[in-house]
Structure 1
Amino acid sequence: MERISLYQLFILTVFFQVGTTIIFGFGAAAGNDSWIVTIISLIIGLFAISIYLLLSYLNPGLTLVEWFPAQFGKWIGTPIAWLYPLLFLYEVGRILNDVKYLTTTIILVDTPFLAIIIFFLIAVAYLQFCGIEVIARMGEIFFPYFLAMILGSIILIFASDILKIENLLPILKNGWKPIFESAFPLGASQGFAQSLELAMIWLLVNSSQKELVKTTLFATTFSGLIILITVIMIITGLGEFFYKTESFPMFTLVSKVNIGGIIKNLDAFAVLLFIISSFFKISLHMFFAIRGIQILTKIENSHKLIIPIVILSIYLGYSVSANFQEHIKVAIEVFPYNLWILLLWILPILLLIVTLINRAINKGKRNFEQMKERL
């Protein structure tokens, strides 16, 4: 069985949670209060991840797709478990659309999407054949560069003197309602509660349950801080109007960098950050989907699934949205309310309740049997 270290889990968690949020406007509907949305989303997200970690503790030796059959029974739990690999595959298609719309709009305008997606998925497929250990090792290689690019961007943006703190004011001008509407379910689910998927690899971590919990919660807090810093920079650099209306506000911000006319237009920084985070998030989504399907179908070798899944991903990359406006509308108005609330919130909480009830019943049965033996 493959194994990963705590540090590798930390890296994969950060890559997975940050994802494409550093390019798109996190909680943009709340305008200049989006930074408050980020904080509230992080707090709610930590609560959700704590539930997932508790479920992992209460279901030792089982992955996410095995929790439901174990607690709900085969006939109810298995159909529910199948919803998760399907969700992961749909997420692959959505991120491929993120890649499509950014690259064909900004950097590779005349390049056919099929050429971009095939190149991207060849690299992703290769990692699937290599396994989670290789994905984690690649994460170790890219993570320092990822952080260096984020830190470098922050320093250069500050040095360009384009940030205006007054763009954060007035605070709460529209009250708390738009903030909470942006924080849940979209903000708390995007990246944070999505970490339920990581339950597919928690069993592979060389550590105690206590260390696993600490590492996961610390990585989540670290990811939240990265998102918070980028949100504050974009709002102070672009202002509320452009933060809400720009398709790729982070890209727009770094393109404004100009230090003495020598260092300017750091578009490559934003593109590299986006490509690296997208690459790892797609790789993880696909790995979780393949592993979930392998477990549910009891296929011995997951390699048999990789090529069909990659072909399906190409189809999803084309079909999940017809244009960028539809892509964003689905991401904000449809996806969170029709899929995330059910799969990331309602079902895990229901599963926790059933798990606790089952444990109490089993404990009562054991105590009763022990009393009978004594008598």
Structure 2
Amino acid sequence: MIMISPYQLFSLMVLYQFGTTVIFGFASGAGRDAWIAASVSFLLGALIIAGYAAIAKLNGSLSLVGWFRRRLGNWLGTTVAWLYPVAFIYDAGRGISDLKFLLPLTLLPETPPWFFTATFMMVVVYVMYGGIEVLCRVAGVLLPVLICFILLETVLLGASGSLRADYLQPVLGEGVGRVAENVWPIGITQTYGQSIEMAAFWFMLNKRGHLGKISVGATLFAGLFIALFDLLAITALGEHVFKEMIFPAFTILKLSSIADFLENLDALGALYFMCTVFIKMSVHLFAAFLCIRELTGAATQNHAAIWIIAGSAYAIGMTMADNFSEHLHVGIEILPNVVWVPLYLIVPAVILLLSLIGKPNKKGLA
């Protein structure tokens, strides 16, 4: 039986929720109030994660697929459950598309996108062959390293005199409207609603009684750092530049300069992005693989399924958008309302309600 430690699950959730938000400005549409939108989003996100954890507690050792089958019946529950691995594979494809557009603009302008995205996918597939325990160990090693780099970046930016607190003024000068628009629906679904994928692994936790504390704590921890990234970007760049920049995290790293020695720390931005995208994409594909394996009753080690799932995500990512504007439009304007709100908020709310009023689980989470 595969077992995951509390620290490994905590690390995996934090890095998963960082995702691409460490590069793209989270809630940048809110301008200088983006940090407020980020803060409200992670607080509401913690409530959503608590709801997911409550479903897990009420349904004992069942996985994500098991929730739907138990509460909706075998036929309807199986039908609904199939929507989730499909959505996870599509979300993994969006990660591939992020790479396809980001790396030519920042680090590898002369390298064909198909080459570095294919290489990246091969690394993900290699980890999938190793199993979820390998991914969790990798996350446990990466988290303290990335946190140290983030804190170092904060110190360097402050010491170089690049941060201006007056760029945050006036707070809520444009009212709460644009903050609310960036909280609902994308702010709470893009990172926190998507975390329902973690339910595919929760039954592997070796101390299930701590699931709620670990998952909610990881969400609050990740959310604080996401809000910190927004604060750094706004106070370093100003509202207008922050809103217009595609990758503000790379831009602020160029501002770090101490005695003409420590400067242009673009490599840190690349490290953030590659590590967190790797974790998030691996979770997408692992969750899809585990759900499909349970739905089909396939063998535990089905390497053909791994290649099919990874290949599907790669094909989707390389063909879903012709340009970055189209990619962003779908991700910001269409996907949250059409896919994420129904799958990550409405359906789980129904399952939670059915779990509360249905027959209690005798085993619980011990």
TM-score, normalised by the number of residues in structure 2: 0.96
Is 2:276 aligned against 1:277? yes
Correspondence for 2:183: 183
1:142-181 to 2 correspondences below 5 Å: 142-181=142-181
Correspondence for 1:11: 11
Following superposition, the deviation at residue 91 of structure 1 comes to: 0.8
Following superposition, the deviation at residue 216 of structure 1 comes to: 1.1
Match of 1:19, SS state, is helix
1:171-320 to 2 correspondences below 5 Å: 171-209=171-209, 211-301=210-300, 302-320=302-320
Correspondence for 2:136: 136
2:254–2:266 contact (8 Å) kept in structure 1: yes
CA distance in 2 between partners of 1:180 and 1:229 (Å)? 19
CA distance in 1 between partners of 2:214 and 2:140 (Å)? 15
Correspondence for 1:367: none
Following superposition, the deviation at residue 67 of structure 1 comes to: 0.8
CA distance in 2 between partners of 1:316 and 1:258 (Å)? 40
Instruction: Give, as a single letter, the amino acid of the residue that structure 2 aligns with 1:288.
Output: A
Correspondence for 2:84: 84
Following superposition, the deviation at residue 144 of structure 1 comes to: 2.2
Instruction: Give, as a single letter, the amino acid of the residue that structure 2 aligns with 1:15.
Output: L
Instruction: Give, as a single letter, the amino acid of the residue that structure 2 aligns with 1:35.
Output: W
Instruction: Give, as a single letter, the amino acid of the residue that structure 2 aligns with 1:228.
Output: A
Following superposition, the deviation at residue 146 of structure 1 comes to: 1.3
Following superposition, the deviation at residue 328 of structure 1 comes to: 0.9
Correspondence for 2:42: 42
Deviations 1:267-286 (A, max 9, x none): 11111111011111111111
CA distance in 1 between partners of 2:208 and 2:351 (Å)? 23
Instruction: Give, as a single letter, the amino acid of the residue that structure 2 aligns with 1:94.
Output: R
Correspondence for 2:340: 340
Match of 1:204, SS state, is coil
Structure 2: 5+ residue stretches without partners:
none
Following superposition, the deviation at residue 358 of structure 1 comes to: 2.4
CA distance in 1 between partners of 2:65 and 2:5 (Å)? 22
CA distance in 1 between partners of 2:175 and 2:128 (Å)? 46
How many residues are aligned here? 361
Correspondence for 1:114: 114
CA distance in 2 between partners of 1:227 and 1:144 (Å)? 16
Bigger CA radius of gyration: 1
Following superposition, the deviation at residue 208 of structure 1 comes to: 3.3
CA distance in 1 between partners of 2:74 and 2:305 (Å)? 23
Deviations 1:80-118 (A, max 9, x none): 101110111011011111112111111100101111011
Following superposition, the deviation at residue 353 of structure 1 comes to: 1.6
Deviations 1:161-195 (A, max 9, x none): 11100000111111111111111111111211211
Output the aligned Cα RMSD.
1.4
Following superposition, the deviation at residue 321 of structure 1 comes to: 1.6
Match of 2:20, SS state, is coil
Instruction: Give, as a single letter, the amino acid of the residue that structure 1 aligns with 2:345.
Output: W
Match of 1:129, SS state, is helix
2:100–2:114 contact (8 Å) kept in structure 1: no
Structure 1: 5+ residue stretches without partners:
364-375
Correspondence for 1:29: 29
2:23–2:250 contact (8 Å) kept in structure 1: yes
Is 2:45 aligned against 1:59? no
Instruction: Give, as a single letter, the amino acid of the residue that structure 2 aligns with 1:259.
Output: I
CA distance in 1 between partners of 2:216 and 2:51 (Å)? 11
